Chain A
Amino acid sequence: EVQLVESGGGLVQPGGSLRLSCAASGFTFSHYWMTWVRQAPGKGLESLATVKADGSGAYFVESVKGRFTISRDNAQDSLYLQMNSLRAEDTAVYYCARDVAVGTSGGQMHYWGQGTLVTVSS
């Protein structure tokens, strides 16, 4: 059974940092791209960044470029999102999701974690 479990969320002051983790199981982690998606309270879904199997990342939201870093450890079956210089508008539930398999076409996200809440407030 595919499982994705996020951790690392919490309350942080503006300007602070957090590192989110996503532990994957039930599939060959190194064979898939992985994506972070967030959802601000009462708002829609926003894709933040995708990391390819080799660790190279792509960022989709201008406001997080230079502040957030997506990474992965294939040996630990884990995905990470390092978030620096956090702002009130980064308050959201952050989801990790399994993206496309290496060597295939696509980008639909079949599996999602349960999400972890990040609250940026003083």
Chain B
Amino acid sequence: DIQMTQSPSSLSAYVGDRVTITCRASQNIGSWLAWYQQKPGKAPKLLIYKASSLESGVPSRFSGSGSGTDFTLTISSLQPDDFATYYCQEYSSARTFGQGTKVEVK
């Protein structure tokens, strides 16, 4: 089974900060990786798929990169609406999610 490990588990940041979240797969998943944003009490929202493709309607401050086992989600300038929990998900095999990264106000 593929394991997905995100880091950090949580972070504190100011509005306007550049934020980077990493996701590591336990084996090569090519570019079969998605990123989601989830706010309390809401369903996850797809941000990025195929490692770097921006979902329609998602602000361009979100970007994804990486391939193989190491991936990154970057928020170029953190906005008030971006405080949430972020998950990576592989779909090379079993659609496994990372454990999540909570982005909080500093």
Residue of A nearest to B42 (CB): A114
Q: Looking at the assembled complex, report how far the CB atom of A58 sits from the nearest CB atom of chain B, in whole angstroms.
A: 8
Residue of A nearest to B98 (CB): A44
Indicate the member of A35, A46, A47 with the most B CB atoms within 10 Å. A47
The size of the chain A interface, using a CB distance under 8 A, is 21
Question: Is A60 a contact of B87 with CB atoms below 8 Å?
Answer: no
Question: Is A108 a contact of B100 with CB atoms below 8 Å?
Answer: no
Question: Is B100 a contact of A47 with CB atoms below 8 Å?
Answer: no
What are the residues of chain B within 8 A of A95 when measuring CB–CB? 43-44
Tell which of B32, B36, B44, B55 touches A107, judged by Cβ atoms closer than 8 Å.
B32
In the complex, A115 Cα to B49 Cα: how many Å? 22
Given the interface pairs A106-B49, A113-B43, A114-B43, the reply to whether A47 lies near B34 with Cβ below 8 Å is no
A to B contact number (C-beta, < 8 Å):
61
* Contact flags B63-106 to A (C-beta < 8 A → 1, else 0): 00000000000000000000000010101101111111000000
Binding site for A on B (CB under 8 A): 32, 34, 36, 38, 43-46, 49-50, 55, 87, 89, 91-92, 94-100
Question: Is A44 a contact of B87 with CB atoms below 8 Å?
Answer: yes
Question: Is A108 a contact of B34 with CB atoms below 8 Å?
Answer: yes
In the complex, A47 Cα to B91 Cα: how many Å? 11
Question: Is B91 a contact of A112 with CB atoms below 8 Å?
Answer: no
What are the residues of chain A within 8 A of B46 when measuring CB–CB? 108-110
Main secondary structure of the interface of B (DSSP, over half): loop
In the complex, A110 Cα to B50 Cα: how many Å? 12
Q: Looking at the assembled complex, report how far the CB atom of A36 sits from the nearest CB atom of chain B, in whole angstroms.
A: 10
Question: Is B100 a contact of A60 with CB atoms below 8 Å?
Answer: no
Tell which of B92, B95, B99 touches A47, judged by Cβ atoms closer than 8 Å.
B95
Given the interface pairs A95-B43, A112-B44, the reply to whether A107 lies near B95 with Cβ below 8 Å is yes
